[in-house]
Amino acid sequence: MTVYYSEDHEWIEVEGDLGTVGITDYAQGQLGDITFVDLPQEGAKVAKGDSVAVVDSVKAASDVYTPVSGEVAEINEALADEPELVNSDAEVGGWLFRVTLSDPSELEELMDEAAYKKFVAGL
Amino acid sequence: MSGVNTAGWRPSMNSAEGGVSVPETQSGDHALMLEEPLIFELGCEGQTGVDFDAPAKAVSPALAKFRRKAAPAVPGLSEPEAVRHYTRLSRQNYGIDLGPFPLGSCTMKHNPRLNEKMARLPGFADVHPLQPQKTVEGALEVIEQLADWLITLTGMASVAMSPKAGAHGELCGLLCIRAALDARGETRDVVLVPESAHGTNPATAAFAGFKVETIPATPEGRVDLAALKAKLGPDVAGVMITNPNTCGLFEPEMKAIADAVHAAGGYVYCDGANFNAIVGRVRPGDLGVDAMHINLHKTFSTPHGGGGPGAGPVVLSEALAPYAPLPFVARGEDGHVHLVEEENRGEGHARAFGRMVAFHGQMGMFTRALAYILSHGADGLKQVAEDAVLNANYVLRSLEDVLQAPFGKSGPCMHEALFSDAGLPEGFTTLDIAKGLIDEGFHPMTVYFPLVVKGAMLIEPTETESKPGLDRFIASMRNLAQRAREEDASLHSAPHFAPRRRLDETRAARKPVLVWKADARA
């Protein structure tokens, strides 16, 4: 099980061909209090870089881009009633959706935790 | 302040001042500071301000099953109670007639009373869109004259007067672009939108069915021309640029951008929301713009949200003019103005993409805008732009030593000054400054927009404000910045003196209560 990070501040935890996607703790901190999360349809085919979800906060509405291509396998339904999970637990309980990877080689373009930490420190 | 009665009471005096201790009032109100319940909590059940006749006939038995079982849950207020309720509420509201309204990108300028006088003339105020044309020639003449001015001021070929607002105008412009591409037999599905554009631009492009691609901003806050050129290609329908942009900066490479887009077969949409900064000084047509909407409620002083639909005319280049939506107002060979509709559109509008609205536009806004233009004249409009820019630069240079101005080194700003909360101590944010500004008696500036700046504070004073007025605003802003720098924790709970303290915006967004319920009264 490995976690990868994108420059758009998404994380993806991969187990087999299933990836769980969310926004990073750094991203939720920048957005402020999350008020609503718009998630993709289960079964939707998505391509790496597509805007597939929207996170609304008191400051802004921000697109979430899928870091990999594939098919949406599951969404985090708890967020409908508790969008604040993205604030309190961004990288575990505040996950957004799960995607069945169609091209695992896309993961090679993402960062590992150390590289992402360095990337954020440079912002 | 000199000249005020220094012996009298002032809001800053608390009740103990002067050695007199004053008890709390019985009502809880403080003179003109009035607490006001919801309208449903006022009046009494069964009371009404309308004297209905008793029904003349008995209700048909067939309708008996629809008879109400309970009285409708409407507020039971007399007419004076209803009038007082809304008047009392209005005292808690802030408007441009009360003081500066520095909302960046909104151009909250004074609405001259002359405009109102003209708009209330019965020949404009009481016309109906289905009246015979020969009975409304004066109204049509107003539309035609306003159209003439807009074409002249922008240096464009034509103007579609019917779109109802800025974003509606953006849609009109993009549909013209799509129609022009269709006529060329080309399918181009990408619209390029710089980071410094208005938020409505990518929304409009997506709504019109285009794919949006973002162009990054340079460190100076302007469009990255090289990045834009790199994205141009046979799939690009056009670019949507806001100029002056939302960082308050003019895009000096606009002509080069337009030339590059045209060379690649695309069109240039310019968001005209910030036209106030350049009206009378720059003609967008000379910069290569193909379509631009004009917010009459910004540059041309019609009220924001002024009693019904707004007006967002779209000026168009020679290339896009043939595709503009109907109807049009045109001057005939007989010198009279008449309406151009589907049945008489002729060659000139044969390729119109359709229509966006039922009728010709918002007469009330047209009349006010033309009154504004005629009362200022060409020289006056030029001075509007100059004074608006001068005022914004005065604010920028008067605050940049206490608040970080991310593009302060990019040269003079245009109509708005942009600051960031990046330089404030940890935990002190743009929201604290904005809420503190309410206590100071001002409407807050635009906050957290544009997104390219951390904790953005976007201040647009407009030409409305005098130097003494700006100085009072600047003194308040400096005071707030100073309090933040000294880590004055009371800023976190501002406003303290408004009718309501700081509202829980997060809870309001997560769990909005939008409908009054009787059982919630307790």
Mean per-residue pLDDT over chain B, rounded: 91
- A77 assigned to some structural domain: yes
CB atoms A35 and B451 under 8 Å: no
What distance in Å separates the CA atoms of residue B203 and residue B200, rounded to the nearest whole number?
5
pLDDT tens, position by position, B149-200: 999 999 999 999 999 989 999 999 999 999 999 999 999 999 999 988 888 9
Check pLDDT > 80 for residue A51. Answer: yes
Q: What is the Cα gyration radius of chain B?
A: 27
pTM of the model: 0.88
CB atoms A60 and B510 under 8 Å: no
What distance in Å separates the CA atoms of residue B295 and residue B304, rounded to the nearest whole number?
10
- Residues ≥6 apart with Cβ < 8 Å to A33: A57, A58, A84, A87, B505, B506, B509
- A111 assigned to some structural domain: no
CB atoms A58 and B451 under 8 Å: no
**Greater model confidence, B382 or A122:** B382
pLDDT of residue B1: 43
Using 50, 70 and 90 to split pLDDT, how confident is the model at B2?
very low
- A98 assigned to some structural domain: yes
The 3-class SS string of chain A reads CEEEECCCCEEEEEECCEEEEEECHHHHHHHCCEEEEECCCCCCEECCCCEEEEEEECCCEEEEECCCCEEEEEECHHHHCCCCHHHHCCCCCCCCEEEEECCHHHHHHCECHHHHHHHHHCC
CB atoms A56 and B509 under 8 Å: yes
Name the minimum distance, in Å, from the CA of A46 to any CA of chain B: 15
Q: Quick check: B261 and B270 in contact, CB under 8 A? A: no
Count of the separate structural domains present in chain A: 1
- Chain A contact for B504, CB < 8 A? no
Domain B379-510 has CATH 3.90.1150.10: yes
- A118 assigned to some structural domain: no
pLDDT tens, position by position, B12-47: 665 555 567 789 999 888 888 888 999 988 988 778
What distance in Å separates the CA atoms of residue B500 and residue B498, rounded to the nearest whole number?
5
Name the minimum distance, in Å, from the CA of A35 to any CA of chain B: 5
Q: Which of A58, A60, A84 sits opposite B505 (nearest CB)?
A: A58
What distance in Å separates the CA atoms of residue B354 and residue B311, rounded to the nearest whole number?
18
CA dihedral B420, B422, B424, B427 (to 10 degrees): 110
| Domain extent listing, chain B | 114-369, 379-510
Check pLDDT > 50 for residue B289. Answer: yes
- Chain B residues with beta carbon closer than 8 angstroms to that of A63: none
Helix axes B200-207, B166-183, angle to 10 degrees: 40
- Chain B contact for A33, CB < 8 A? yes
pLDDT of residue B119: 95
Using 50, 70 and 90 to split pLDDT, how confident is the model at B522?
very low
- A121 assigned to some structural domain: no
- A50 assigned to some structural domain: yes
pLDDT of residue B172: 98
To which residue do tokens 């904005």 refer?
B434
Nearest to B396 by CA among B445, B439, B438: B445
Query: Judging by beta carbons within 10 Å of its beta carbon (0-12, 13-18, 19+), is residue B64 exposed, middle or buried?
Result: exposed
CA B446 centroid distance within chain? 12
pLDDT of residue B7: 63
Instruction: Flag the least confident range among B56-60, B94-98, B184-188, B370-374.
Output: B56-60
Report the DSSP beta bridge partners of residue B58.
none
Which fold, B114-369?
Aspartate Aminotransferase; domain 2 (3.40.640)
Q: Which domain holds residue A81?
A: 2-102
- Chain A contact for B505, CB < 8 A? yes
To which residue do tokens 């909005």 refer?
B512
pLDDT of residue B159: 97
pLDDT tens, position by position, B335-366: 999 999 999 988 889 999 999 999 988 999 99
- Chain B contact for A58, CB < 8 A? yes
Q: Quick check: B109 and B463 in contact, CB under 8 A? A: yes
- Chain A contact for B511, CB < 8 A? no
pLDDT of residue B306: 58
Q: Quick check: B357 and B162 in contact, CB under 8 A? A: yes
Check pLDDT > 90 for residue B55. Answer: no
CATH number (domain holding residue A95): 2.40.50.100
pLDDT of residue B6: 60
Q: Give the chain A residue nearest B453 (alpha carbons).
A: A30
CB atoms A60 and B451 under 8 Å: yes
